[in-house]
Protein backbone atom coordinates (compact mmCIF):
# COMPACT_ATOMS: atom_id res chain seq x y z
CA UNK A 1 0.00 0.00 0.00
CA UNK A 2 1.16 3.51 -0.80
CA UNK A 3 0.08 6.86 0.60
CA UNK A 4 1.15 10.39 -0.31
CA UNK A 5 1.41 12.55 2.81
CA UNK A 6 1.96 16.27 3.27
CA UNK A 7 3.42 17.84 6.42
CA UNK A 8 2.93 21.59 6.18
CA UNK A 9 3.30 24.71 8.27
CA UNK A 10 0.64 26.25 6.03
CA UNK A 11 0.81 30.01 6.19
CA UNK A 12 2.05 29.90 9.77
CA UNK A 13 4.98 31.97 11.04
CA UNK A 14 8.57 30.88 11.62
CA UNK A 15 7.61 29.06 14.82
CA UNK A 16 5.30 26.77 12.83
CA UNK A 17 8.12 26.06 10.39
CA UNK A 18 10.26 24.96 13.35
CA UNK A 19 7.45 22.71 14.59
CA UNK A 20 7.08 21.17 11.12
CA UNK A 21 10.77 20.20 11.12
CA UNK A 22 10.50 18.62 14.59
CA UNK A 23 7.33 16.77 13.63
CA UNK A 24 8.98 15.40 10.48
CA UNK A 25 11.81 13.90 12.55
CA UNK A 26 9.39 12.28 15.00
CA UNK A 27 7.12 11.10 12.17
CA UNK A 28 9.96 9.35 10.33
CA UNK A 29 11.27 7.73 13.52
CA UNK A 30 7.85 6.22 14.20
CA UNK A 31 7.51 5.16 10.56
CA UNK A 32 10.74 3.16 10.85
CA UNK A 33 9.50 1.56 14.08
CA UNK A 34 6.38 0.44 12.23
CA UNK A 35 8.43 -0.94 9.30
CA UNK A 36 7.01 1.65 6.94
CA UNK A 37 9.25 2.73 4.09
CA UNK A 38 9.29 6.36 3.05
CA UNK A 39 10.63 8.55 0.28
CA UNK A 40 10.88 12.32 0.45
CA UNK A 41 9.29 13.48 -2.82
CA UNK A 42 9.62 17.20 -2.28
CA UNK A 43 10.89 19.42 0.51
CA UNK A 44 10.65 23.17 0.98
CA UNK A 45 12.96 24.45 3.69
CA UNK A 46 11.90 27.23 6.03
CA UNK A 47 13.15 30.77 6.37
CA UNK A 48 15.76 29.83 9.01
CA UNK A 49 18.11 26.89 9.54
CA UNK A 50 16.44 23.72 10.86
CA UNK A 51 12.97 24.91 9.86
CA UNK A 52 10.59 23.49 7.28
CA UNK A 53 7.70 24.96 5.30
CA UNK A 54 6.47 21.69 3.87
CA UNK A 55 7.50 18.18 2.92
CA UNK A 56 5.76 15.58 0.79
CA UNK A 57 6.35 11.92 1.63
CA UNK A 58 5.53 8.71 -0.20
CA UNK A 59 4.86 5.97 2.37
CA UNK A 60 4.93 2.25 1.59
CA UNK A 61 3.94 -0.58 3.91
CA UNK A 62 1.22 -2.89 5.21
CA UNK A 63 0.33 -0.96 8.39
CA UNK A 64 0.08 2.54 6.92
CA UNK A 65 -3.62 3.10 7.73
CA UNK A 66 -3.41 2.43 11.51
CA UNK A 67 -0.15 4.36 11.66
CA UNK A 68 -1.63 7.43 9.97
CA UNK A 69 -4.76 7.31 12.13
CA UNK A 70 -2.79 8.90 14.97
CA UNK A 71 -1.10 11.48 12.75
CA UNK A 72 -3.51 12.90 10.17
CA UNK A 73 -4.95 16.27 11.15
CA UNK A 74 -3.48 19.19 13.03
CA UNK A 75 -0.52 18.87 15.41
CA UNK A 76 0.01 21.32 18.25
CA UNK A 77 3.20 22.37 20.00
CA UNK A 78 2.93 24.19 23.31
CA UNK A 79 5.90 26.40 24.10
CA UNK A 80 7.38 29.85 24.00
CA UNK A 81 8.87 31.09 20.77
CA UNK A 82 12.66 30.98 20.56
CA UNK A 83 12.54 33.42 17.66
CA UNK A 84 10.40 36.05 19.39
CA UNK A 85 10.97 35.77 23.12
CA UNK A 86 8.48 38.50 24.04
CA UNK A 87 5.70 36.94 21.96
CA UNK A 88 2.75 35.94 24.17
CA UNK A 89 1.44 33.11 22.00
CA UNK A 90 2.25 29.59 23.23
CA UNK A 91 0.17 27.29 20.98
CA UNK A 92 1.49 26.62 17.47
CA UNK A 93 -0.24 24.43 14.89
CA UNK A 94 0.82 22.62 11.73
CA UNK A 95 -1.06 20.16 9.51
CA UNK A 96 -0.52 16.61 8.28
CA UNK A 97 -2.81 15.60 5.42
CA UNK A 98 -3.17 12.79 2.93
CA UNK A 99 -3.08 13.87 -0.69
CA UNK A 100 -5.98 11.86 -2.04
CA UNK A 101 -6.86 11.26 -5.68
CA UNK A 102 -3.36 12.27 -6.68
CA UNK A 103 -1.40 10.10 -9.08
CA UNK A 104 2.35 10.16 -8.82
CA UNK A 105 4.38 10.55 -11.96
CA UNK A 106 5.70 7.18 -13.05
CA UNK A 107 9.25 8.21 -13.93
CA UNK A 108 10.63 5.57 -16.25
CA UNK A 109 14.01 5.67 -17.97
CA UNK A 110 12.31 4.28 -21.07
CA UNK A 111 10.65 7.68 -21.45
CA UNK A 112 14.00 9.49 -21.65
CA UNK A 113 15.48 10.55 -24.97
CA UNK A 114 19.25 10.98 -24.94
CA UNK A 115 21.31 13.13 -27.27
CA UNK A 116 25.08 13.46 -27.24
CA UNK A 117 26.94 16.68 -27.89
CA UNK A 118 30.36 18.19 -27.56
CA UNK A 119 31.16 19.68 -24.19
CA UNK A 120 31.22 23.43 -23.94
CA UNK A 121 34.05 25.54 -22.55
CA UNK A 122 37.55 24.60 -21.45
CA UNK A 123 38.30 21.28 -19.82
CA UNK A 124 40.92 19.21 -21.60
CA UNK A 125 41.82 17.64 -24.89
CA UNK A 126 38.48 15.88 -25.39
CA UNK A 127 36.46 19.05 -25.05
CA UNK A 128 34.91 20.21 -28.33
CA UNK A 129 36.36 17.13 -30.06
CA UNK A 130 34.41 14.17 -28.67
CA UNK A 131 30.67 13.97 -27.96
CA UNK A 132 30.88 13.34 -24.20
CA UNK A 133 28.12 15.71 -23.05
CA UNK A 134 24.58 14.39 -22.76
CA UNK A 135 21.23 16.09 -23.16
CA UNK A 136 18.37 14.09 -21.60
CA UNK A 137 14.69 14.83 -22.24
CA UNK A 138 11.75 13.35 -20.35
CA UNK A 139 9.25 12.86 -23.17
CA UNK A 140 5.96 13.02 -21.18
CA UNK A 141 6.82 16.25 -19.34
CA UNK A 142 9.18 17.78 -21.93
CA UNK A 143 11.67 18.60 -19.14
CA UNK A 144 15.34 18.48 -20.14
CA UNK A 145 18.83 18.64 -18.61
CA UNK A 146 22.29 19.08 -20.10
CA UNK A 147 25.22 17.33 -18.37
CA UNK A 148 28.92 17.71 -19.14
CA UNK A 149 30.47 17.15 -15.71
CA UNK A 150 32.60 14.20 -16.75
CA UNK A 151 34.80 13.34 -19.74
CA UNK A 152 32.97 10.02 -19.81
CA UNK A 153 29.76 9.94 -21.82
CA UNK A 154 28.49 7.03 -19.69
CA UNK A 155 29.00 8.95 -16.44
CA UNK A 156 27.27 12.01 -17.87
CA UNK A 157 24.37 9.82 -18.92
CA UNK A 158 23.99 8.42 -15.39
CA UNK A 159 24.09 11.91 -13.92
CA UNK A 160 21.54 13.16 -16.43
CA UNK A 161 19.02 10.51 -15.34
CA UNK A 162 19.41 11.48 -11.67
CA UNK A 163 19.11 15.21 -12.34
CA UNK A 164 16.24 14.81 -14.78
CA UNK A 165 14.24 12.81 -12.25
CA UNK A 166 14.85 15.46 -9.58
CA UNK A 167 13.77 18.20 -11.98
CA UNK A 168 10.62 16.42 -13.13
CA UNK A 169 9.54 15.60 -9.57
CA UNK A 170 10.28 19.13 -8.34
CA UNK A 171 8.20 20.74 -11.09
CA UNK A 172 5.37 18.26 -10.47
CA UNK A 173 5.30 18.87 -6.72
CA UNK A 174 5.45 22.64 -7.13
CA UNK A 175 2.39 22.50 -9.38
CA UNK A 176 0.63 20.21 -6.92
CA UNK A 177 1.40 22.44 -3.95
CA UNK A 178 0.08 25.53 -5.71
CA UNK A 179 -3.11 23.66 -6.51
CA UNK A 180 -3.70 22.45 -2.95
CA UNK A 181 -2.42 25.43 -0.97
CA UNK A 182 -5.87 26.91 -0.33
CA UNK A 183 -7.23 23.49 0.62
CA UNK A 184 -4.52 23.00 3.26
CA UNK A 185 -5.21 26.45 4.69
CA UNK A 186 -8.91 25.70 5.08
CA UNK A 187 -8.24 22.28 6.61
CA UNK A 188 -5.89 23.75 9.17
CA UNK A 189 -8.42 26.39 10.19
CA UNK A 190 -11.14 23.78 10.65
CA UNK A 191 -9.01 21.30 12.60
CA UNK A 192 -6.85 23.73 14.50
CA UNK A 193 -8.76 23.45 17.78
CA UNK A 194 -8.71 19.64 17.83
CA UNK A 195 -5.12 18.42 17.39
CA UNK A 196 -4.45 14.71 16.92
CA UNK A 197 -1.16 15.11 18.78
CA UNK A 198 0.29 17.64 21.16
CA UNK A 199 3.95 18.23 22.00
CA UNK A 200 5.54 20.64 24.44
CA UNK A 201 8.87 22.16 25.44
CA UNK A 202 12.08 22.66 23.52
CA UNK A 203 12.77 18.92 23.80
CA UNK A 204 9.53 18.36 21.88
CA UNK A 205 8.15 15.90 24.40
CA UNK A 206 4.90 14.22 23.46
CA UNK A 207 1.97 14.91 25.77
CA UNK A 208 0.39 11.52 26.23
CA UNK A 209 -3.31 11.19 26.88
CA UNK A 210 -4.14 7.61 27.77
CA UNK A 211 -7.73 6.84 26.83
CA UNK A 212 -7.41 3.06 26.73
CA UNK A 213 -10.12 0.76 28.05
CA UNK A 214 -7.65 -0.82 30.47
CA UNK A 215 -7.01 2.49 32.21
CA UNK A 216 -10.71 3.28 32.37
CA UNK A 217 -11.39 -0.14 33.90
CA UNK A 218 -8.71 0.37 36.55
CA UNK A 219 -10.16 3.77 37.42
CA UNK A 220 -13.59 2.19 37.81
CA UNK A 221 -12.17 -0.58 40.05
CA UNK A 222 -10.53 1.96 42.33
CA UNK A 223 -13.75 3.96 42.56
CA UNK A 224 -15.73 0.82 43.51
CA UNK A 225 -13.08 -0.16 46.05
CA UNK A 226 -13.24 3.26 47.68
CA UNK A 227 -17.02 3.06 47.67
CA UNK A 228 -16.96 -0.31 49.52
CA UNK A 229 -14.49 1.10 52.07
CA UNK A 230 -16.82 3.99 52.71
CA UNK A 231 -19.72 1.57 53.35
CA UNK A 232 -17.64 -0.36 55.86
Q: How many CA atoms lie within 13 A of 115 on its CB side?
A: 9
Q: Which helix (H) or strand (E) holds 26?
A: helix 14-33
Higher pLDDT, 83 or 165: 165
d(CA 31, CA 98) in angstroms, rounded, equals 15
pLDDT mean over 92-121? 81
DSSP designation for 90: -
d(CA 149, CA 128) in angstroms, rounded, equals 14
The ranges assigned to domains in the chain are 2-104+190-220, 112-173
- CATH number, span 112-173: 3.30.160.20
pLDDT of amino acid 219? 56
End-to-end CA separation in angstroms for the chain = 59
DSSP designation for 105: P
Whether the full predicted model's pTM is greater than 0.75, yes or no, is no
Residue 75 has pLDDT above 50, yes or no: yes
pLDDT of amino acid 230? 45
Fold of 2-104+190-220: Alpha-Beta Plaits (3.30.70)
Amino acid sequence: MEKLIQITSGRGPLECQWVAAKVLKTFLEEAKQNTIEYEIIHRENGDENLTLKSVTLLLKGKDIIPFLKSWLGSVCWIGKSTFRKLHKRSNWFIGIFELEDVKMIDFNEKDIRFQTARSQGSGGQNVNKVNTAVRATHTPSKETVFVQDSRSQLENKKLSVIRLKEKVMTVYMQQLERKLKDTWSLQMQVERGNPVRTFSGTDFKKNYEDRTFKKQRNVLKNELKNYRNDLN
